[in-house]
Amino acid sequence: MSSHHIVREKQEPALLVLGVDNFSEELLGQLLEWSPTVITTPHTAEKLDTFGIKVDWVITDGEGGVSQSDVKLMPVGDDTLTGAALKYLIAHNYPAVNIVTDILDLDDFADYAGKINLVIFKGHQKIYAVNSGFSKWKPAGEVIRLLSDDVEVNYSGLEKVDADRYKTTNDGFFTLQFERPFLFIAEDLD
C-alpha cells in the first residue's frame, strides 16, 4: 500500500532566503522538502544556485541577473527587500513564510506579523511571533528568549535567567501572557 500526498500551491510556507552564510545546509534542505515558492536576493540567488536550489523569484531593483531559467523578478520599489517580498506573499494569500537570514532586524518583520505566519531562521535560532496566551510543550532546561522590548510578560513553566532569557522549569507546557498584539520569541535549534 502506498500513500500519495498532493501538495497544493501555497499549502506549504513560502521560503524567503535573505542570507545563508551561517545556516545549516541540512536544515535548508528540510525547508525545501515540499517545494515551496523560493524568493531571494540577487546575491543569495547565486549561492543557492551553487547548491542546486531552484529559485522562483528574485527581489531586485533591476540590478543583477540570475543564471537560472524561468526566474521572475520582483521589483523592490519604495520598499525594503524584505518588505517587497512579504507584501507580495500577503497579497497573493500565502498563509506562512519561512525566512532564512544572516542579519536580524525585527523591525523589518513587525508590520507583517499579524498578516502572515512568520518563522525566521538566523544561525542556530528559530524566531517567531506569538500571541498572548501562547503555550508550547518543551523539555526541562530549554532556553526561550523574548525578543520584543519593553513588554511586561506573565509566564508559567519558565524561570527568568537574565533580561530576555527564560528556562523551562519542567518537562511540560510553558505559557506567555502579555498586553501587546504579539511578541517575538526565539528558540535554539538542535
126-152 confidence digits (pLDDT tens): 999 999 999 999 999 999 999 987 789
Same domain, 69 and 162: no
| Spatial distance between the Cα atoms of 15 and 97, rounded to a whole number of angstroms | 6
pLDDT tens for residues 99-122?
A: 999 999 999 999 999 899 999 999
Q: Per residue in 44-69, pLDDT tens?
A: 998 998 888 999 999 987 766 567 77
The number of distinct structural domains making up the chain is 2
Q: What string of DSSP letters covers 10-29?
A: TTSPEEEES--TTS-HHHHH
Is pTM beyond 0.75? Reply is yes
Average pLDDT, the chain: 89
Residues 62 and 147 placed together within one structural domain of the fold: no
Domain edge (last residue) among 123, 144, 161: 123
Structural domain range at position 95 = 14-123
Domain shared by 155 and 118, yes or no: no
Residue 5 inside a domain? The answer is: no
Whether residues 141 and 118 fall in one domain: no
